[in-house]
Amino acid sequence: MIPAIVVFLYLAAVLYIGIFAFRRARGREEAEDYFLASRSLGPFVFLFSLFGTNMTAFAILGSSGHAFSNGIVTFGLMASASGLVIPLTIFLIGTRVWALGKKYGFMTPVQMFRDRWECTHIGTVIFVVQAAMLVPYIIIGIMGGGTTLSTISGGTVPFWFGGAIVAMVVMSYVFFGGMRGTAWVNTFQTILFLCFGAIALIVIGYGMGGFRSAAQAMQGAPALAPLLTRERISPYYFFSYTFIPLSAIAFPHILIFCLTARKITQFRKTVIFYPICILAIWLPCVFLGVMANNRANDIPQIKDKQEARRVLATQGRTMEPEQRDQLRDQAAGDDVIMLLLQRYAPLWLAGLLGAGIMAAVMASDSQILALSTMFTEDVFAFYGGKTRFGESVQVQTGRIFIILITLFAYIVALQAPETIFELAIQYAFSGFASLSPLLIGALFWRGSTKWGALAVTVWTASAVVAVAVFQSVVPAPAPGPATVLWSVGGTEVLARTPGGTAVFGFMPVVPMVLVSALLMIVVSLATRKPAASTIAKYFGGDRS
């Protein structure tokens, strides 16, 4: 329990930081101060809080678990594309959103969409879809917290209790501290997991006898050598992952964080240092996930995972779906970094490194606050609640919403069947990547209309639901070739893969984004544009 106790002490420190931010802002119940920290974050806090809010359990536990099963290619799938696409979108879109928010007082993306396209209830539809797709991200954080505390305590702390502790701590400091508390906690956590990620790499590498010898041993083992190549990921799937980072700037919590910067010049350093931070996080996590495969003789749990994978690959096609799902859960690698820490780090250091991992896991705080901000601004205030009851009641309503959404996410997290990586890619990332044409159309195309925006939103919601229903009806096959359900002239149109769904060999995110872009163009061209004054407000001039 020593490592777990260290993690609990860390959670207490995080809770204090959030409450300290509340005490500093006590007596100030303005909505802009609570939800946006009065647009006053400095360059250091802005950079680390913006990066930290995007590096959740997906980046630490999800990436290492995916690398454990699929190999070093995981780094190429996510980190390489993200290091280029995310800073580029922050520079091109984030700065423009900041400028418009500063000028017109926007606090949420939906407020901007309503003003840009002169729409009312369509904005509410966008809010509902964004909120529904943000919940999986919050679930990921709770799952990661439960996994971390359960593994680092050797099972003494059960998954459900670990998840509950993380949910309570996050809910508490978001409830009291608002955006200021969330930003300070995210800054502290980002520094922590950046430093401890490097320490974990060094300590575990030393305990394993050096990564060079471990990699050479894997290269000489026929069963493990493919993990050092791109063999387990098809070229179509690899290409599909270049669409995933488009989701980052479409995430409401990222856009809302863009509104908190004190000056627009702060985006320059963010764009420069963001790829470096991605490298510092993803490289050790992916590498440790891959190297864990070489330690089956030292760590019984890893040997059990490898045996489950072997049984799935050889006998999975003849098993009942329930038995296959049970083996798949056993083979999942979301906890491999924690297992390596247990085996190769001293107890006190394992606790500190576990706290660093917990820091990334708890980045779901920004998503919870973003949902609260959106609800109070886009629903409560928009439909007259702020006018009737005042800003103080608006803030209290946001706090109540924080409690409700956290409880809901916790209940769902206890039932979530997917691994952290699969849950994020299939639902949260793919859905928001499909919504990215909303931002591009609103900010860079005069001809975009509210009906084009509605078409994109409805299509995205329908596609995400269709993928979820399809994967619940058609069981995932065992590792190996996909199960083809629809083909035309020898071309695979729709297939169920071990990790999700394939459409013409691509992940669903590819057709989702392309169809969204096409709908925005076609529907906008066929429908009425906003007033010339509105277009001039965003683009200058008086052209319609």
Q: pLDDT tens for residues 453-469?
A: 999 999 999 998 898 88
272-295: pLDDT as tens digits: 888 888 888 888 888 888 888 888
Q: How far, in Å, CA of 178 to CA of 183, rounded? A: 9
pLDDT above 80 (res 415): no
pLDDT at 544: 41
pLDDT at 153: 76
Q: Would you tell me the crossing angle of helices 43-54 and 365-374 to the nearest 10 degrees?
A: 100
Q: How far, in Å, CA of 49 to CA of 40, rounded? A: 13
Q: What is the mean pLDDT of residues 140-149?
A: 76
Burial (0-12, 13-18, 19+ Cβ within 10 Å), 403:
middle
- Taking residue 209's Cβ as centre, other Cβ atoms within 10 Å add up to 12
pLDDT at 169: 82
156-184: pLDDT as tens digits: 888 888 888 888 888 887 887 788 888 88
Q: What is the mean pLDDT of residues 342-362?
A: 72
How much is the pTM?
A: 0.83
Say how far residue 372 (Cα) sits from the centre of its chain. 17
pLDDT-derived band at 57, boundaries 50, 70, 90: low
Mean pLDDT (the chain) is: 83
Higher-pLDDT residue of 447, 234: 447
289-330: pLDDT as tens digits: 888 888 878 888 888 888 888 888 777 777 777 787 778 778
The owner of tokens 């329990």 is 1
- Taking residue 302's Cβ as centre, other Cβ atoms within 10 Å add up to 22
pLDDT above 60 (res 29): no
pLDDT above 50 (res 133): yes
pLDDT at 457: 96
pLDDT above 90 (res 515): yes
What is the phi/psi pair of residue 495, to 5°?
-145, 150
Q: How far, in Å, CA of 2 to CA of 4, rounded? A: 5
| Residue ranges of domains in the chain | 2-25+43-424
Are the C-beta atoms of residues 102 and 94 closer than 8 Å to each other? Answer: no
Residue 210 contacts by C-beta under 8 Å, 6 or more apart in sequence? none
> In degrees to the nearest 10, what's the CA dihedral of 530, 518, 429, 500?
150
What is the phi/psi pair of residue 116, to 5°?
-65, -40
Which two three-digit tokens encode residue 238?
Answer: 């690899």
pLDDT at 172: 82
Q: How far, in Å, CA of 463 to CA of 511, rounded? A: 9
pLDDT at 180: 81
Q: How far, in Å, CA of 484 to CA of 496, rounded? A: 6
pLDDT at 417: 54
Q: What is the CATH number of domain 2-25+43-424?
A: 1.20.1730.10
